[in-house]
Structure formats: structure tokens, C-alpha cells
Amino acid sequence: MKKIIYTLAMAFCLMASFTSCKEKDMSMKMNEPRNIKGVISYKRSFGDLNDTHMAAAKRIGIKPLKDREAAEKLGGKVMEIKDNDFYQVDSLTHSIPFLVPKASALLDSIGANFLDSLENKGLNPNQVIVTSVLRTQDDVKKLRRVNGNASANSVHMFGTTFDISYKRFYKVEDPDGRPMQDVRADTLKLVLSEVLRDLKKKDMCYVKYELKQGCFHITAR
């Protein structure tokens, strides 16, 4: 009897070992797109004017800061945003990675909903890229030197507003090294527009489609 039990145990171990050593699928993971509609018009769907953004920013945001040192002294009034599972932060040249808590939570929701939508629509994972965040008064002055069209009264100064690129996205690689088919930027833009449209309908944000800057300009409500 003991011999039979021993034999069965050895067989079970061998089977478990074989299963664990089974080669993982390393074939290219293809996209299987489905139910991707986007919005009827980017301009019409995301046409919230600057005055609308500004009113919300003044209501829930911080007071404009003179310089970057002042931002570091705000404590819990603003939250630092960093690369995470939901989004990537671009190399910021004229802003610093801080948002008021409500705007930070909105950014998390956009990133999470975008990834969920990609999965539901049969597309390989990509993260949104944040291209502009909180601007101090000094940042605005420097930006206006290189971009004469930049507003001196920027909504970005209140910590409620951020920009997300619709031209560039961050491809999430498979942790086991399995190759994954790329997703076209224009397809990702369609999915992102659906996410933003749904959040707008829930009165969570205002959105302006920025054609020249290649981004969605977003303010928390």
C-alpha cells in the first residue's frame, strides 16, 4: 500500500513539474478590435471654453504660485503625480507634476478607464501620457517667451488642469516578453475620446480639444 501511495505521489510531482515547465505562448499577441466608435466630432464634443475651465479652476483650485519653491510648501493641498500603472508623465519643460487631489483622482480615473476600455475593445494595453500640469507664474512667463500665443492667465496655474496627448501613447510591454502588436495612435485617440466623453457626461471634468498642441486640455470639476 505504501508503495502504491509513493508511486502516485511521484507521478503527481512529475505532472506538476511538467506543467510548470510548459513553455509560455511567445507568439505575437494580435489586436482584435471591436466596438470602437469614438465621438462624432472632437471639436463639438470637447469645446469647453477657457472661461468655463477658469471658473471651475478658481472654485476648487489653489491660488497661483510665484515659483516652484512655493509649490513644495503647499503640503497636502497638492499631490505629486508620477509614472504609475495608469499613466506616464512626460518630460515637463514649463510645468511641474502637481495637482489638487480632485484633479489627481480624475487623472487616475482617466488612465484606469482607458486601460479597461482597451481590454474590452480587444486592443493591447497602452497608457496615456500627461504633457502639462501645474504652472507657476514664473513658468508662464518663460513659456510666453517661446510661445507668444500662451495665455498669461493660464488655467494651469490653479492645479486643477492637465493636458493629455492624443498623438503619443506609452505601449505597455508584456511582463514575460511576449511580443505585442502595436495599436495605431488614431485608434487609441478614438478610445480615449470615448473615455473623456463619458466622464464629461458624469460632470467630472471640462475638456477642450487642442488641435495645435495635439492634446486634450482637461480641468477637474
pLDDT tens-digit series, residues 43-80:
999 999 999 999 999 999 999 999 988 988 898 899 99
Instruction: Decide if 125 is inside a domain.
Output: yes
Predicted model pTM: 0.88
Q: CA-to-CA distance for 185 and 192, rounded, in angstroms?
A: 10
| CB-count burial class (<10 Å; 0-12, 13-18, 19+) for 138 | middle
Is 60 exceeded by the pLDDT of residue 181?
yes
Instruction: Decide if 60 is inside a domain.
Output: yes
Helix H or strand E segment including 118? helix 101-120
Instruction: Decide if 169 is inside a domain.
Output: yes
Instruction: Decide if 23 is inside a domain.
Output: no
Of 109 and 25, the structure prediction assigns the larger pLDDT to: 109
Cell for 147? 510661445
C-beta separation of 130 from 162 below 8 A = yes
DSSP track, 67-108: SHHHHTT-GGGSEE----SSEEE---SS-BSEE-HHHHHHHH
Helix H or strand E segment including 165? strand 161-165
Is 70 exceeded by the pLDDT of residue 5?
no
Instruction: Decide if 34 is inside a domain.
Output: no
Cell for 79? 499631490
Report the pLDDT value the prediction gives residue 19, as an integer from 0 to 100.
Answer: 47
Task: Render pLDDT for 100-146 as a digit per residue (tens, 0 to 9).
Answer: 999 999 999 999 999 999 999 999 999 999 999 999 999 999 998 88
Task: Render pLDDT for 153-173 as a digit per residue (tens, 0 to 9).
Answer: 899 999 999 999 999 999 999
Task: Render pLDDT for 82-103 as a digit per residue (tens, 0 to 9).
Answer: 999 999 999 999 999 999 999 9
Which domain, by its residues, includes 211? 40-220
Instruction: Decide if 13 is inside a domain.
Output: no
Instruction: Decide if 8 is inside a domain.
Output: no
State the average pLDDT over residues 179-198.
98
Q: CA-to-CA distance for 72 and 218, rounded, in angstroms?
A: 23
Total domains, the chain: 1
CA distances for 104 relative to 38, 47, 69, 124, 218, angstroms: 25, 22, 20, 25, 11
Q: CA-to-CA distance for 99 and 88, rounded, in angstroms?
A: 15
Report the pLDDT value the prediction gives residue 152, as an integer from 0 to 100.
Answer: 80
Instruction: Decide if 18 is inside a domain.
Output: no
Report the pLDDT value the prediction gives residue 149, as an integer from 0 to 100.
Answer: 64
CA distances for 93 relative to 14, 45, 107, 140, 144, angstroms: 58, 29, 20, 11, 13
The domain that contains 76 carries what CATH number?
3.30.1380
Beta bridge mates, 99: 79
If you count them, how many residues does the chain have? 221
